[in-house]
Homo-oligomer: A and B are copies of this chain.
Amino acid sequence: MPRTGLSPEEARQRAVEIAVVRIRENGFVKLRLADVAREMGVSHAALYGHFRDKAALLDAVTGHWLREARARTAVICAGSAPAAERIEEWFVTRYRIKSARALSDPEIFYGFNDATESERPVIRVYMQQMRRDLSGLLSEAGLGGEAEATLLEEALASFLHPALIGAGPKPEREDALRRLLRVLLAGLAASREGGT
């Protein structure tokens, strides 16, 4: 009966906000659409006007979280330091953000991990954006493009994949990441010289 007074876009945002709070409180797997709907002041069926199903709302939560994370790495791409330095900074920042969040926001992180395991489109899109960002840095550094970005992404999975990254940033892990990355960049540089 009484209209919500929110635009579709606002309603979506509001639902995601509420879901985030509920997930932090009760856990990712225990989120109930009924709770979100009640807190919005609508019937649970109304949510289906904004999200195809529960998975879509959960994806929206994950997507929101990933966009926040990307915002913090994207500024590095636009920096003025030498490209090689920015590449290292870019990866280290990703490591720090994810490991910190695995500790401070474990339930949302669980959702991220879950979406990754089940290869949800929201993850594919995020990975594509990250690959493009990295690809840009690599070509600035004269070290390659998309293919090399994919290669680096795979090589650093130990430090970035949600299933392998530990909870809480660890200096020794960060050092190991830097060492590995330098070997990789040296290897790409060498391949480039030899293989041209």
**Cα–Cα, bound, A157→B154 (Å):** 8
**CB <8 Å contact, B183 and A154:** no
Judged by a CB distance under 8 angstroms, whether A50 is at the interface is: no
- Give CA–CA (A190, B183) in the complex, Å: 8
Q: A157 — which chain B residues lie within 8 A by C-beta?
A: 157-158, 161, 164
Tell whether A125 is near chain B: CB-to-CB under 8 Å: no
CB–CB A182/B191 < 8 A: yes
Copies in the complex: 2
Within 8 A of B (CB), among A139-167: 151, 154-159, 161, 163-164
**B155, B159, B194: the one within 8 Å of A184 (CB):** B155
Interface hits, A157-179 → B, CB 8 Å: 157-159, 161, 163-164, 176, 179
A130 in the interface (beta carbon within 8 A): no
Tell yes or no: A188 within 8 A of B by CB.
yes
The A contact surface, by secondary structure, is helix
**Residue with the greatest number of chain B CB neighbours at <10 A, chosen from A163, A182, A186:** A186
Q: B191 contacts A151, CB within 8 Å?
A: no
Those of A16-44 within 8 Å (CB) of chain B: none
From B163, B180, B186, A155 is in contact (CB under 8 Å) with B180
Most-contacted residue by chain B among A156, A157, A159, A161 (CB, 10 A): A157
Question: Beyond A163-B164, A184-B184, A187-B190, is A179–B151 a contact (Cβ under 8 Å)?
Answer: yes
Contacts of A77 in B (CB 8 A): none
Q: Are A187 and B183 in touch, CB under 8 angstroms? A: yes
A189 at the interface (CB under 8 A from B): yes
